[in-house]
Amino acid sequence: MFGLRAISFLLALVLLTTAARHSAFSEEAQARKDWEKRWVYVPSNLYVNENLPKIESILKRAKAAGYNGVLFADYKTFTWWKLDGADRWKANAEKLRAMTKDMGMELTVAVFPFGYAGALLFHDPNLASGMPVKDAPLEAKDGTLVPVQTTVLKNGSFEEYTDNAVARMGFQDDPGKSSFIDTEVVKEGKVSLRFEDVGKVNPHGHGRVSQQITVQPWQQYRMRVWMKADKLTADEVKLLVIGGDRTLQWQYPVAPQGKSMDFISRAQNLTTDWVEESVSFNSLDNTKVQVYIGIWGGKTGKIWWDDWRIDSTPTLNLLRRDTLPLIITGADGTVYEEGKDFEKVVDKEMGTKPWAGCFDTRHEPPVIKLTADSRIKNGDKVKLSCWHTEIVLAGQMNCSMSNPKVFDLCRQEMEKTKGSLAPDGYFMSHDEIRCGGWEPEETDRFKTSGELFAFNIKECAKIAFGVGENKPVYVWSDMFDPNHNAHANFYLTNNTIEGSWEGLDKNVIIMKWGGGKLAKPGLEFFSKRGHRQMIAAYYDGDVAADYKMWTDAAKDISNIIGVMYTTWENNYSNMEKFAETWWGGAVKQP
């Protein structure tokens, strides 16, 4: 009798356990399958006919794996109607729209490239985000106003050294072990500085040289150096400037790639002849800054540096528009007149190389020429106040956040996108906005950059909902998330971006990105504010680990309506694995 009871009890326990496991499995499977929006991110260029079959191949695979939407991004949605062969782009856009309709896939198109504003600046480079130059000293020489040099980098030729240690530097990683004075491979003078097989010596792969220099506040400087590489592999190669507690410049070098010069962030067996690297930076309110050249996460191979120098360049990438004045004053306070005392100053090469909307610091800044009857005489000392723009990272540019012409262009882009692609939704590309909030029209009107960004996103959403006839509108999360980029001293943004989220319409759907410790706080933040959200997952990492991180972060958070396969490397090899992991693969259509 006891044996039968025990057997019955054990049988009941097994059945209960099995039922519980089945229930848990069913709940998990249901949660995986119930994403309303299952998107794939596809950036491309419809100006190139060959790209259309590539897009079609990706979308066919996506459809088979259960994806039901695509976020499409093309730089030329902001420019196509002004290009030669505009009809080709429009025809391909219409084919893409037909393709997604035939597949039953939602098409959302990226608009308003405020994070990477080159396409907007294609229309007018003077709409770039301005930074102030205040009282830059100039001296009249031979009918021109020449910048007075207000800084110097000592021993940038590396000609002064002891053994393998360069003199006058703040520090040099591992002299005599992975960094060496080279007397055979040089660009200028008798020596260069070579870093070799850094990863074999330095546990962090650091191969850097740095110096602290004295600068004048609120000046624009240009830092140049010659670089050469041989089979170099490193996580990052960069030129860096630090002032106080913020980064004043972080830019990757360029190297020849075919007929163009491309930015090199990660070096993979990089070999190049001598290339002159050039970056500019604004000193802001600093009197001293730390400048660096080098590699981070270095592994193998060689890199050489030579002829490192810095000079004052107040008119490089000079912005000229009514709200950004150019003022030259004398020692006695005299304000000199453009057109009367000096000729009109324009940087004709700004925003033109290698094509419209692209900026560089390699060209020479415009010379300020005195007129024949100028009140400024040779030998006179004057001061220049003006506005310039800055390039960061890999050629990234930002535009004014408040100028009415910017919103006019955004409205035009919306109309053109609506007419050519007829999308099901619009995606505002406000992400990683690394420069803004310095212009007079912005500081006079808004207490902080946060207020400025709030104004901007509110205006952009009005345009998107209005022209888009109330179709869904989305935005990247980072510039409105206090746990991510919406904080003080973000790159070259003025003061703080805190409060930017106050401009977000509650109907704007947030595309949350930024994993790890940023994931859960960000999801919670936007959930409490009443926004529906999607998760931009994957980022070319481990699908399973990424899934666990995001689902752990999203637990008990409501209003998460979808997920997107997000690749920055155009790597779609894990698209099916992503679908299987996130929603169980192909989804039967009702």
Residues 119 and 179 in one domain: no
The DSSP output letter for 15 is H
Residue 4 in this model has a pLDDT that exceeds 50: no
pLDDT band with cut points at 50, 70 and 90 for residue 17? very low
Indicate the number of domains in the chain: 2
What SS3 state is found at 588?
Answer: coil
Predicted local distance difference test score (pLDDT) of residue 259: 74
pTM metric for this prediction:
0.90
- Structural domain contains residue 425: yes
Q: Which of 312, 335, 353 is the last residue of a domain?
A: 312
Place of tokens 């919406």: 486
- Structural domain contains residue 355: no
From the CA atom positions of the chain, what is the Rg in Å?
28
Predicted local distance difference test score (pLDDT) of residue 261: 84
- CB of 224 closer than 8 Å to CB of 274: no
Residues 569 and 438 in one domain: yes
Task: Encode pLDDT of 440-491 as tens digits.
Answer: 999 999 999 999 999 999 999 999 999 999 999 999 999 999 999 999 999 9
Residues 431 and 572 in one domain: yes
- Structural domain contains residue 66: yes
Looking up residue 215, the CATH number of its domain turns out to be 2.60.120.260
Looking up residue 486, the CATH number of its domain turns out to be 3.20.20.80
Residues 203 and 94 in one domain: no
Residues 119 and 183 in one domain: no
- Structural domain contains residue 349: no
Residues 93 and 176 in one domain: no
Predicted local distance difference test score (pLDDT) of residue 265: 87
Residues 442 and 557 in one domain: yes
- CB of 474 closer than 8 Å to CB of 490: no
- Structural domain contains residue 141: no
- Structural domain contains residue 23: no
Q: Which of 287, 312, 337 is the last residue of a domain?
A: 312
Residues 111 and 166 in one domain: no
Residues 522 and 448 in one domain: yes
Question: Encoding tokens for residue 249?
Answer: 């410049």
Residue 358 CA to residue 79 CA, distance in Å, equals 13
- Structural domain contains residue 374: no
Domain that holds residue 198: 161-312
pLDDT band with cut points at 50, 70 and 90 for residue 390? very high
Residues 278 and 190 in one domain: yes
Residues 169 and 114 in one domain: no
| DSSP per-residue string spanning 489-553 | T-TEE-SB-TTGGGG--TTSEEEE---GGGHHHHHHHHHHTT--EEEEEETTS-HHHHHHHHHHH
